[in-house]
Amino acid sequence: MSKGRIVIALGGNALEKKGMPATAEAQFEVVRETCRHLARIEKSGWDMAIVHGNGPQVGRLLLASETAKHVTPVLPFDVCGAMSQGYIGYHIQLAMKEALKEIGKGYIPVTTLVTQVIVDSGDPGFRKPSKPIGPFYSKEEAEQLTAERGYSMQEDPAGRGWRRVVASPEPKRIVERDTIKRLWDSTILIACGGGGIPTIINDKGELQGVDAVIDKDFAAELLAEEVEADLLMILTEVEKVSLHFNTPQQQDLSCMSVEEAWQYIKEGHFAPGSMLPKVSAGVKFVNSGPGRKAIITSLDKALDALEGRTGTVIQA
């Protein structure tokens, strides 16, 4: 008997560990441990889909392409995003099948779906790109890239150089949603990797990839809405959401109502690019339908959180 549908958003620590080399082999070892935790969730009775980030990986693909520009043409950012979905998904597929075999469920298919996510070409984020991607450049190199390729470049606040910045628009619709719905009952799906490939509908009515990064937590929330999931679980490095994080006054939260979450957001408790999008995505999902809830916790505490022993629950 299924406990319901769950969409799980994996944080960066589920793919890489600090201090380990940034190699494909090292990533696969981390993913192996991640999938052992996910397999336990499957064994407990939940039907799942998995969404992952891709920040470091897509940055390395872009860097490799830029470095080889004298040998082969530089790849567009949306193409790098698609490549990252493929190779991260491949690692999760391999590791998830191993983990499922360990619990006697090796017969369950695991499939990666290269996923496009439609965004609004008029989204305010396109007018003021702010998401840094790729390597650091000198001021002269940044000016050259702006002139030659039309990149938006921004100086790093820590003084490490200049980086390309792209928009981070709000996801509106998942192009492959009908395929995802058809596969749901038979397959563990890995979808919307890296937030999905940002896509607009151009003047010809055609889909067109754009240089942007969709926040993976908001993409996971949209996926959870579109498959009518019961639960959105966002996994990160901390066991619980906190007020006054990393101060002597830190207060860990076991639960938040939507109203409380909004108040904490207004008070500035959650950092942009860190906990803020996670809480905001959780609130959005809870508001999307009756009986829905979100949980934010760490990967190693995921099953405990599902069983009510830890984590931060957001509910109406």
**Strand 251-253, strand 241-243: pairing:** antiparallel
Q: Are residues 122 and 197 located together in one domain of the fold?
A: yes
Render each residue's pLDDT in the chain as its tens digit; 316 residues: 789 999 999 988 899 888 888 899 999 999 999 999 999 999 999 999 999 999 889 888 988 998 899 999 999 999 999 999 999 999 999 999 999 999 999 999 999 999 999 999 999 989 888 888 777 889 999 999 899 888 899 998 778 899 888 889 999 999 999 999 999 999 999 999 999 999 999 999 999 999 899 999 999 999 999 999 999 999 999 999 999 999 999 999 999 999 999 999 999 999 887 899 999 999 999 999 999 999 999 999 999 999 999 999 999 9
Q: Are residues 82 and 189 located together in one domain of the fold?
A: yes
Q: Are residues 206 and 86 located together in one domain of the fold?
A: yes
Enumerate the active-site residues.
12-13, 131, 216, 278
Decide if 308 is inside a domain. yes
Q: Tokens in use for 149?
A: 């390729």
Return the closest-CA partner of residue 259 out of 224, 283, 234: 283
Q: Are residues 124 and 266 located together in one domain of the fold?
A: no
Which of 179, 199, 229 is at the close of a domain?
Answer: 229
For the stretch 149-155, contacts whose Cβ atoms lie closer than 8 Å and that sit 24 or more positions apart, written own/partner, are: 154/129, 154/130
Q: Are residues 57 and 13 located together in one domain of the fold?
A: yes
Decide if 156 is inside a domain. no
Ramachandran angles phi, psi of 141, nearest 5°: -65, -40
**pLDDT score recorded for residue 129:** 87
Q: Are residues 103 and 210 located together in one domain of the fold?
A: yes
**pLDDT score recorded for residue 19:** 83
Q: Are residues 69 and 191 located together in one domain of the fold?
A: yes
Which of 204, 229, 254 is at the close of a domain?
Answer: 229
Q: Are residues 242 and 199 located together in one domain of the fold?
A: no
78's CB contacts (< 8 A; 6+ apart) are 197, 198, 199, 209, 210, 211
DSSP code for 151: -
Decide if 141 is inside a domain. no
**pLDDT score recorded for residue 148:** 85
Total tally of structural domains belonging to the chain: 2
Structural domain of 29: 4-128+167-229
Q: What three-state secondary structure class fits 76?
A: coil
Locate all alpha helices (DSSP H) within the chain, ordered by sequence: 24-43, 55-67, 77-102, 124-127, 139-149, 177-184, 216-226, 258-266, 275-287, 302-306
Q: Are residues 90 and 213 located together in one domain of the fold?
A: yes
Alpha-carbon gap, residue 198 to 115, rounded angstroms: 9
Decide if 22 is inside a domain. yes
Q: Are residues 221 and 248 located together in one domain of the fold?
A: no
Contact 241, 275 (CB under 8 A): yes
* 257: Cα separation from own chain's centroid: 24
Which of 189, 209, 229 is at the close of a domain?
Answer: 229
Residue 37 sits in a domain whose CATH number is 3.40.1160.10
Return the closest-CA partner of residue 215 out of 164, 281, 309, 160: 281
Q: Are residues 92 and 180 located together in one domain of the fold?
A: yes
Q: Are residues 93 and 24 located together in one domain of the fold?
A: yes
